[in-house]
Structure 1
Amino acid sequence: MSRNAAFAPPPDARTYRLRTARGEFAVVDSPVADGAEPKGVVLMLPGFTGSKEDFTLLHEPLGARGYRTVAVDGRGQYESDGPEHDEAAYAQTELARDVLAQVAALGVRVHLVGHSLGGQIARAAVLLDRDPFVSLTLMSSGPARISVSQQQRVKLLRDALDTMTMAEVWQVIQAMGPPEEVGGPAVGPGDPDRLRSRWLGTRPAQLLATGRQLCSEPDRVAELAAVAPACHVVSGAYDDTWPVPLLDEMALRLGARRTVITGAEHSPNTDQPLPTARALADFWDDVCSRQRSDRA
């Protein structure tokens, strides 16, 4: 598959702006495959510098397993609106309330998946209100702040954004070869023109505010364990943003299912999409089976 095809939505998917009580959000909404038994709806939140396109390669295999998948650009990410310079609009609680509004607009309880930064926003949404969520999957998303090396790299990005335009920063990123967490524009799926378009569409205030969150996030695992629905911690076999042993420990503290995707690093959704989709669907199938048993 070409990198450009990886950026394009699946043939049966709809791209539209989801209207919510907190504004409109750009989504890719992919249906259950023809002939598959519908099992549930999934809402997927991308990471720092990412977008809904980071989940492109998961839609079809998850649809074949019976899951409708909705990937969303958060406030100020790529094709979703947001203020250019008002960082207060991107406070974590504001972004979490956006997620609750998105679920309300979908009109059904969902399996929530958050990649990296998206996982910490997903956690915050569950801590505000767990009721809309059937399950929570934290993908390559750790218990607290990112590693020291990644904090340093995010700081470099923030410093650049303080003095340069988004277009100028893009040129610097291309020249330097970006790290995992800052590197969504360069290492995500899609050809360079599409990736540049995504970068330029993202609001500087969103990057500044969420970059600070990644560098200062407290450990809220105990809070989450007290209220969370069924949890799943997924990662690649190597991750410099949150080391894998840290993710192992977090899963134990949550009482969560733990899946390590062989051959993947910080983005198993793009590095190894088929094993990642299989692990996600197996988890959701088990959650639904247990719920049916509890009701019987």
Structure 2
Amino acid sequence: MSLPPGVRRTTVETSRGPFAALEALPGSGVPDRCPALLVPGLTGSKEDFLAVLETLAASGRRVVAIDMRGQYETLGPDDESAYTRAALGADIAALLSALGPGPVHLVGHSFGGLVCREAVLAGARPASFTVMSSGPGAVTGAAAAKARALRDAIPELGLAQIWELGLEPDYLGRGVQREIVAFLRARTLGNSEKGLACMANEILTAPDRVDELAKHCADTALRVLVIYGEDDDAWDPRAQAAMAERLNAPKVVIPGAAHSPAWDAPETTAAALLALWSDTERTLK
């Protein structure tokens, strides 16, 4: 997949190993504002944020989107313990440290939101925390059925057969461009099978930790934003709105977007993130 101008592929070295990343810098090449770390969801990757990277970086900051451990271009071990929410959260904490030493804005999309929440509750101190298209706990309904089917099919079929029998025919039948289909194939097959199955189980079993996060934010003055598409089909938008109320956090509902607002409505999504980041940075000075 081709990259926008000003975006490059790189690797972020951390105390917990290397992570594949996309990095965007401001036009001057010299960031003068807090950097940002963007974390994708269960079957996603750093490329899910491609449409917003340039805009976010143009505000004067280094913006980094990563593949989590075992996702696409970040290697992961064949060890279930590496893919718990807590272990993945420790990876995020290490990434925040690597992008520092100053405060870093944190954005977690979908399952990535649950993982980032683990990092924050374990003591990571981002500049701000945006929960994007992510709920209070485990997915339910149709989203849960999909995650369960994926978890159960991987050991039986493997990702290659899942792609050939189900995913590729669906994408082609919907008229997805062949360049995009080629990328989706590479991404699907690049995942660690053990990792993806374990992460699917984690999204099915995540507890509701919203009250813990609310107390943490009150105690530490951490700014939180809840953002989601009006047509989100993973977590019910009403559940996400209720979560924002429990967190005493602002919410932004993106018109015309579903579960991936950074892709469906990049300019609106970027504007919401930049508003939070700029407002937060005024209080950091």
Q: 1:150 aligns with which of 140, 143, 153?
A: 143
Gap regions ≥5 residues in structure 1:
1-6, 179-185
Please, what TM-score do these two structures have when normalized by structure 2? 0.91
1:42 and 2:36 aligned: yes
- AA aligned opposite 1:275: T
Using the alignment, how far apart are the partners of 1:221 and 1:212 within structure 2? Answer: 20
Kept after mapping to 2: 8 A contact 1:33/1:64? yes
Please, what TM-score do these two structures have when normalized by structure 1? 0.88
Gap regions ≥5 residues in structure 2:
none
- AA aligned opposite 1:104: S
Q: 2:189 aligns with which of 178, 184, 200?
A: 200
Using the alignment, how far apart are the partners of 2:237 and 2:181 within structure 1? Answer: 30
- AA aligned opposite 2:284: Q
Structure 1 residues 156-195: aligned runs within 5 Å:
156-174=149-167, 177=170, 191-195=180-184
1:174 CA displacement:
2.2
- AA aligned opposite 2:69: R
After TM superposition, the structure 1 stretch with the greater mean CA deviation from structure 2, 238-247 or 282-291, is 282-291
Using the alignment, how far apart are the partners of 2:76 and 2:42 within structure 1? Answer: 15
Using the alignment, how far apart are the partners of 1:188 and 1:32 within structure 2? Answer: 30
For these two proteins, the number of residue pairs brought into alignment is: 277
Q: 1:28 aligns with which of 13, 22, 31?
A: 22
Cα deviations across residues 147-190 of structure 1 (Å, max 9, x unaligned)? 22211111111221121121111123326748xxxxxxx98996
Kept after mapping to 1: 8 A contact 2:151/2:198? no
Structure 2 vs 1, CA of residues 61 and 159 (structure 1 numbering), >3 Å: closer, same or farther?
same
When the two chains are superposed, the root-mean-square deviation of aligned CA atoms in Å is 2.1
1:239 and 2:232 aligned: yes
Q: 2:203 aligns with which of 192, 204, 214?
A: 214
Q: 2:92 aligns with which of 99, 103, 110?
A: 99
Cα deviations across residues 211-237 of structure 1 (Å, max 9, x unaligned)? 111111110001111113100000000
1:56 and 2:57 aligned: no
Q: 2:260 aligns with which of 258, 267, 270?
A: 267
1:225 and 2:219 aligned: no
Cα deviations across residues 63-91 of structure 1 (Å, max 9, x unaligned)? 222232100111000000102x4222111
1:245 CA displacement:
0.8
1:80 and 2:71 aligned: no
- AA aligned opposite 1:58: V
Using the alignment, how far apart are the partners of 1:150 and 1:126 within structure 2? Answer: 25
Using the alignment, how far apart are the partners of 2:204 and 2:122 within structure 1? Answer: 22
1:277 CA displacement:
0.4
Question: Percentage identity across aligned positions?
Answer: 39
Kept after mapping to 2: 8 A contact 1:92/1:213? yes
SS of the aligned residue for 1:15 comes to: strand
Aligned to 2:113: 119
User: Moved runs in structure 1, 4+ residues, more than 4 A?
Assistant: 186-190
Aligned to 1:4: none
